[in-house]
Amino acid sequence: MPKIYRVENDYGHGCYTNGDMSFACKHSQQTNTPSPNFDRGIKRWMSHKEICGFLNLEQANKWFTDNELKEAERKGFILKQIEVKEITAIGEKQVLAIR
């Protein structure tokens, strides 16, 4: 099974589904955090079956600063490697996958 990196809590929820993490989880086309439909290589909205993550630690560390990851951890979200059924799209900044 393929593996990706993802910031999520113990329930498998990503930080973009939790309002408490909005400081770290805002999409911006002007920075390194575009929504999937603005990410080169993806250029589409994600389906309800897909999750966002990162192909490698380098992508994750370009997306989140050390301070953002520390704050995420304080709120129960940890950067971890997870197994997925399928990687459905590989973007310049992120990947989409089916858990």
Range of the domain at 17: 3-98
Taking Cα atoms as reference points, which of 61, 49, 48 lies closest to residue 94? 61
Cβ distance 49 to 98 under 8 Å? yes
Entry pTM: 0.86
Q: Which pLDDT tens digit goes with each residue over 65-84? A: 898 899 889 888 999 999 99
For the chain, the average pLDDT equals 87
Whether the per-residue pLDDT at 24 is higher than 60: the answer is: no
> DSSP H helical segments within the chain, as ranges?
57-63, 66-74
Q: Which pLDDT tens digit goes with each residue over 37-55? A: 989 999 999 999 999 999 9
The more confidently predicted of residues 76 and 15 is 76
Number of domains in the chain: 1
Residues 84 and 99: their CA atoms lie apart, in Å, by: 4
